[in-house]
C-alpha cells in the first residue's frame, strides 16, 4: 500500500480495540468522540495532503529501504534537503490545521533509533538494527502513525530511576524470557497517542549501570493488552460537547491532544525490541531524538504562528484599526519573530551531517537554539495577538447567546465591529485567537512551546555542551595575541 488515504487512516484507527479513558470514563469509540475527533482530523490531514499532487515531494519521499513512495512522516532523512523538506512540510501542516498534527514525534524517533541501533550493533554484535529496519519497513508499507514515547513521569527529579520510591515512575523491564520481555511503567504527555497505530518507546534520559533495566526501546501496537491511555484535558475542551455550529471553538475542525499512556505488564516479542539494557547508548539516543524534535518546532509552531498572525490581522481589520501605525508595527514584530523561528529550523537542517548509519542528523547546536527561541517568541507573538484582539476575546458571550431568540439581537447589535462584518464572523476570529493562545485545541501553542521537546533548561544544557567555548577562546587569544591559559585550557 505505502500510502494510505485520509479515509483509510480513519477506518484503520476505528478498527483498533483501544483502551482509552476521558473524564473518568472508558471511551468505546474514540474516533467518534467530539472532544477527541478534532485531533484525529489533524492527523488525517497528513494523509490527505499526501494524496494531493501539488504536495508530492513535500509530503512524500522515496523510501531508502524499499524504493517505494512513502509519506514523509515515515522517512529516513537521506540528505540535508530531506531535513529541509521536513521543516517546510511541518510549516504547511501548521498553516492548514492551526493545531498539532502529531506524527512528528514518531518521525524523529525513527531517525534517532535507526542511527543508534546501527552503532549499538557495531559495538556489541547485536541484531537491533536489523530488527528495526524490518519494523520500519512494516510502518512504511502500511503508512502507520506511530507515537514516539519518550517522556517518563519521573517522580522525584532529584533521584535516579532506580532510586525512586516507586520504581515504575520510569518505564522498565520487569521480566525477560525466551520469546520477549515484559515492561511496566508509563509515558507522559504523549502527543497523538490515541490516534496512533503503534507506540515506539525510547528511554527518557542518559542512564548509568544501576539504571540498566530502564534502557529499553521497543514497539507495540496501540491496542496491545496492558496499554491504557488516559486522555489529557485542555482549556475549554467541553465546549466541543455543547457547541452548535462551532463559533465558540475557534478551530472547530482541527485540534491536538496529549495522553498519559500506562504500560501495565505489557509483553514485547524480541523482534520488536531495539534496546535491552545497553544503558550506555541511552544518552546518545535521547540526544539525537531531542535534536530532531527541537528542529521540528521550527516548522510546526511557525505554521500555527502564521495562522495566529492572520487572525490578529483580521481582528484588527474587523475592529476598523488595521491601518493604525501601532497595529502595523505589532504585526511586523509578530512576523519578524515567527520568521526568526523558521530561520533557525532551516539553519539546523542545512547544517546537518550524515551519521554512520547513513541517515542525516541536524546540527544539534542550532536545533537547540531553535527550540530555546520557541520557548520565548511564541509568548510574545501570543501577547501581541491578544493585544490586537482586545478584551472582548475573554469576556465575549457565547454562541448560544448569539442564537437566543430573547437576547441574540442584543449580542448581535453590541458586539458588531466594522461595517460590513457580521458579529458572528468577528466572534469566530476572536475565538480562534483564544483557541491558539489559551490552548483550547492547539495543545496550548504558548505553554506547549515552553515544555514540548524538553524544557528551556534542557536546551541550555545542550547549548553549553555544543557551544565549544574553548574553540572560541582560542580564536580570541589569537586575535588578541595572548598566550596565557587557565587550568590547562587550549
Asked whether 119 and 282 are in contact (CB, 8 A), the reply is: no
Task: Confirm whether 276 is a catalytic residue.
Answer: no
Task: Confirm whether 292 is a catalytic residue.
Answer: no
Asked whether 349 and 83 are in contact (CB, 8 A), the reply is: yes
Instruction: From 47, 88, 441, select the one nearest 238 (Cα to Cα).
Output: 441
Task: Confirm whether 97 is a catalytic residue.
Answer: no
The angle, 0 to 180 degrees and rounded to 10, between the axes of the packed helices 282-319 and 104-124 is 170
* Set 47, 74, 100, 445: catalytic member: 100
User: Mind spelling out the 3-state secondary structure of 421-478?
Assistant: CCHHHHHHHHHHHHHHHHCCCCCCHHHHHHHCCCCHHHHHHHHHHHCCHHHHHHHHHH
Could you give the CA distance from residue 463 to residue 457 in angstroms, rounded to a whole number? Answer: 10
Task: Confirm whether 370 is a catalytic residue.
Answer: no
**Exposed, middle or buried by CB within 10 Å (0-12, 13-18, 19+), for 367?**
buried
* Set 9, 47, 60, 104: catalytic member: 104
Which residues on neighbouring strands pair with residue 426, listed in sequence order?
none
Instruction: From 51, 53, 39, 52, select the one nearest 8 (Cα to Cα).
Output: 51
Could you give the CA distance from residue 458 to residue 375 in angstroms, rounded to a whole number? Answer: 11
Q: DSSP readout, 299-325? A: HHHHHHHHHHHHHHHHHHHHHT-TT-H
Could you give the CA distance from residue 144 to residue 293 in angstroms, rounded to a whole number? Answer: 19
* Set 292, 293, 375, 437: catalytic member: 293
* Set 297, 318, 360, 445: catalytic member: 297
What b/e readout covers 92-130, taking b as 16+ CB neighbours within 10 angstroms?
bbbbbbbbbbbbbbbbbbbbbbbbbbbbbbeeeebebbe
* Set 74, 300, 344, 370: catalytic member: 300
Name the DSSP class of 269: E
Instruction: From 198, 181, 343, select the one nearest 275 (Cα to Cα).
Output: 181
Longest dimension (CA), the chain: 84
* Set 278, 386, 399, 448: catalytic member: 448
* Set 116, 117, 151, 191: catalytic member: 191
Task: Confirm whether 60 is a catalytic residue.
Answer: no
Task: Confirm whether 297 is a catalytic residue.
Answer: yes
Q: DSSP readout, 380-411? A: HHHHHHHHHH-THHHH---HHHHH-TTTHHHH
Kindly state the helix (H) or strand (E) to which residue 349 belongs, with its residue range. Answer: helix 325-350
Catalytic residues, by residue number, are: 100, 104, 191, 258, 293, 297, 300, 448
Amino acid at each position: 500500500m505505502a500510502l494510505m488515504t485520509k479515509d483509510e487512516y480513519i477506518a484503520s484507527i476505528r478498527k483498533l480495540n483501544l483502551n482509552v479513558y476521558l473524564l473518568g470514563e472508558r471511551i468505546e469509540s474514540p474516533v467518534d468522540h467530539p472532544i477527541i475527533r478534532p485531533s484525529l482530523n489533524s492527523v488525517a490531514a497528513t494523509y490527505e495532503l499526501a494524496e494531493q499532487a501539488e504536495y508530492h515531494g513535500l509530503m512524500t519521499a522515496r523510501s531508502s529501504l524499499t524504493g517505494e513512495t512513502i509519506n514523509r512522516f515515515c522517512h529516513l532523512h537521506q540528505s540535508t534537503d530531506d531535513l529541509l523538506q521536513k521543516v517546510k512540510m511541518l510549516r504547511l501542516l501548521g498553516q492548514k490545521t492551526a493545531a498539532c498534527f502529531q506524527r512528528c514525534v514518531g518521525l524523529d524517533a525513527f531517525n534517532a533509533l535507526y542511527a543508534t541501533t546501527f552503532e549499538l550493533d557495531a559495538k556489541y554484535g547485536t541484531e537491533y538494527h536489523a530488527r528495526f529496519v524490518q519494523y520500519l519497513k512494516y510502518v512504511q508499507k502500511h503508512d502507520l502513525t506511530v507515537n514516539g514515547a519518550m517522556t517518563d513521569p519521573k517522580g522525584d527529579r532529584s533521584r535516579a530511576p532506580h532510586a525512586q520510591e516507586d520504581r515504575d515512575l520510569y518505564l522498565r523491564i520487569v521480566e525477560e524470557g525466551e520469546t520477549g520481555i515484559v515492561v511496566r511503567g508509563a509515558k507522559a504527555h504523549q502527543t497523538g497517542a490515541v490516534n496512533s497505530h503503534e507506540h515506539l518507546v525510547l528511554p527518557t534520559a542518559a542512564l548509568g549501570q544501576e539504571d540498566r533495566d530502564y534502557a529499553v526501546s521497543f514497539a507495540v501496537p496501540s491496542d496491545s493488552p496492558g496499554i491504557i491511555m488516559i486522555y489529557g484535558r485542555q482549556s475549554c475542551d467541553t465546549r466541543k460537547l455543547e457547541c452548535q455550529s462551532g463559533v465558540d471553538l475557534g478551530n472547530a475542525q482541527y485540534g491536538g491532544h496529549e495522553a498519559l499512556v500506562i504500560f501495565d505488564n505489557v509483553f514485547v516479542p524480541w523482534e520488536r525490541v531495539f534496546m535491552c539494557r545497553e544503558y550506555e547508548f541511552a544518552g546518545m539516543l535521547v540526544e539525537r531524538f531531542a535534536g530532531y524534535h527541537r528542529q521540528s518546532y521550527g516548522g510546526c509552531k511557525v505554521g500555527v504562528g502564521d495562522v495566529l498572525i492572520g487572525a490578529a490581522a483580521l481582528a484588527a481589520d474587523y475592529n476598523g484599526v488595521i491601518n493604525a501605525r501601532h497595529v502595523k508595527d505589532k504585526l511586523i514584530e509578530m512576523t519578524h519573530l515567527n520568521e526568526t523561528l523558521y530561520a533557525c529550523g532551516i539553519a539546523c537542517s542545512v547544517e546537518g551531517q550524515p551519521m554512520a548509519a547513513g541517515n542525516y542528523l541536524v546540527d544539534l547546536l542550532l536545533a537547540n537554539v531553535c527550540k530555546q527561541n520557541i520557548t520565548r517568541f511564541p509568548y510574545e507573538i501570543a501577547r501581541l495577538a491578544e493585544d490586537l484582539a482586545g478584551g472582548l476575546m475573554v469576556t465575549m458571550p457565547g454562541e448560544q447567546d448569539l442564537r437566543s431568540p430573547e437576547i441574540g439581537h442584543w449580542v448581535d447589535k453590541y458586539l458588531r465591529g466594522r461595517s460590513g462584518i457580521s458579529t458572528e464572523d468577528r466572534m469566530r476570529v476572536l475565538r480562534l485567537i483564544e483557541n491558539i493562545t489559551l490552548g483550547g485545541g492547539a495543545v496550548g501553542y504558548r505553554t506547549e512551546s515552553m515544555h514540548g521537546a524538553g524544557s528551556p533548561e534542557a536546551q541550555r544544557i545542550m547549548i553549553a555542551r555544543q557551544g565549544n567555548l574553548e574553540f572560541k577562546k582560542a580564536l580570541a587569544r589569537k586575535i588578541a595575541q595572548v598566550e596565557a591559559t587557565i587550568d590547562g585550557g587550549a
